Amino acid sequence: MRHAKTLSAGAGLVAALLISLSGCVSGPQQNQSAGNNGGGAKTGPVKIGFSMDTLKEERWQRDKQLVEQHAKEVGAILDVQVANGDDAVQTKQADNMLTQGVDVLIVAPHNGEIAASIVEAAHRQGVPVISYDRLIKNADVDLYVSHQVEKIGEMQARYALDHVPHGNYVLIGGAPTDNNALLLRKGQENILKPAAERGDIKIVANPFAKDWKMEEALRYMEDALTANNNKIDAVVASNDGTAVGAISALERAQLAGKVLVTGQDAQLDACQKIVEGTLTMTIYKPIKPLAYSAVDAALKLAHKEPVNAPDKINNGKIDVPAILQEPQAVDKNNMVNTVIKDGYHTLEEVYAHVPKDQWPKATASNGRKAEVSPFIAAFSLLLAAFSWVR
């Protein structure tokens, strides 16, 4: 008995030590007595405000749906506001949510610098702020949940360099107001700059597309093609939207499928283009762990409980405690074993434009769509079992 007690005390100590070593966060330190979140421990359902920049890309629709889903599962009250790329609107929507008494804010900022004022306003009321996917700069952000963004840039560039070790490269970045676009470029340059310095590759253009606009990417790609007599060998596009824009320009020049193009997000049209051969790769970032970690952390912060944040990232003011998910590179060789196996998209969706006799042999479990609808997954498994028994 005594032995067991010593053991559990020891385990407790080790756990406490691990938590303190790996970084723990429990909400804003200043002005705790003010506002809604100020007094004692929170009772009743937690009110979460989710301020989003956009729903333009498919992934953000998924983020919204999964945050809503998990908030419901844990019994939180959720208010989602979408600013559609307008900073003034995003600030106002966040202010309104604070006025309405949210206990915690999750913010996917349009502009990482401007959103600092949202953090300041929230903290004046003792409301903690989670920076979602994109980092809010120069502010006392309580927690950052995202993927390993610089690593994504490195993965895109390494993939391109492994497949096209020589030639002319075009880099198409995302919104310069989004810290992710800058981190991606940093990661890409970590890999590509040494190759350019060796003279293996030449970076002939490296623009950033305002607000990640596909039309801007298309225009930049057309300019690069014209300036280089169509002699472009690889396009490192920072996300799927900009990749699709670049592919449109390549199509007009009859070069689609002949030039390597990278992407990011594993959105459906991108995955379709990968199996059709006009996009070469994308980065798959499962959204469920991201959305769920944000809601779970929001609850903890609202209850002033510690959140285990194993990573950190400097935002120009502080080292922000962070929870960063692992990205995965996807091309046509591992599409079935990643995106499809996880149920992110179904086999039928991804191969919709490919003749059926060219579809990969897939089992029922990799045709499911688990992340969004477990019911369909269970149903197709049942169906498969039934036909097997017959």
Q: Work out how close the CB of 60 gets to ligand GAL at its nearest, in angstroms, rounded to a whole number.
A: 6
Alpha-carbon distances, residue 265 vs 247, 287, 337 (angstroms): 16, 9, 16
Any contact of residue 180 with ligand GAL (CB under 6 A)? yes
Any contact of residue 212 with ligand GAL (CB under 6 A)? yes
Return the residue of 26, 32, 55, 57 that touches ligand GAL, per CB under 6 A: 57
Judged by CB under 6 A, which stretch of 172-180, 213-221, 254-262, 379-387 contacts ligand GAL? 172-180
Residue from 127, 129, 125 nearest 140 by CA:
129
Q: In the range 261-280, which residues lie near ligand GAL by CB under 6 A?
A: 264-265
Any contact of residue 109 with ligand GAL (CB under 6 A)? no
Any contact of residue 282 with ligand GAL (CB under 6 A)? no
Residue from 166, 137, 62 nearest 315 by CA:
137
Contact 44, 333 (CB under 8 A): no
Contacts made by residues 312-317, CB under 8 angstroms, sequence distance 24+: 312/23, 313/135, 313/144, 315/131, 315/135, 315/136, 315/137, 315/138, 315/139, 315/141, 315/144, 315/179, 316/137, 316/138, 317/137, 317/138, 317/139, 317/140
Any contact of residue 59 with ligand GAL (CB under 6 A)? yes
Tokens of 175: 């919104």
Any contact of residue 133 with ligand GAL (CB under 6 A)? yes
Judged by CB under 6 A, which stretch of 15-23, 51-59, 122-130, 228-236 contacts ligand GAL? 51-59
- d(CA 122, CA 144) in angstroms, rounded, equals 16
Return the residue of 27, 49, 174, 187 that touches ligand GAL, per CB under 6 A: 174
Any contact of residue 58 with ligand GAL (CB under 6 A)? no
Closest to ligand GAL by CB, 168 vs 328, is 328
Closest to ligand GAL by CB, 103 vs 240, is 240
Closest to ligand GAL by CB, 180 vs 188, is 180
Judged by CB under 6 A, which stretch of 4-12, 54-62, 84-92, 202-210 contacts ligand GAL? 54-62
Beta strand spans in 190-308 (E): 201-205, 234-237, 260-262, 282-284, 307-308
Return the residue of 87, 142, 154, 178 that touches ligand GAL, per CB under 6 A: 178
Give the nearest residue (CB) to ligand GAL.
Answer: 180
The alpha helices in 40-173, defined as continuous H runs, are 58-73, 87-99, 116-124, 149-163
Contact residues for ligand GAL, defined by CB under 6 A: 54, 57, 59, 133-134, 174, 178, 180, 212, 239, 264-265
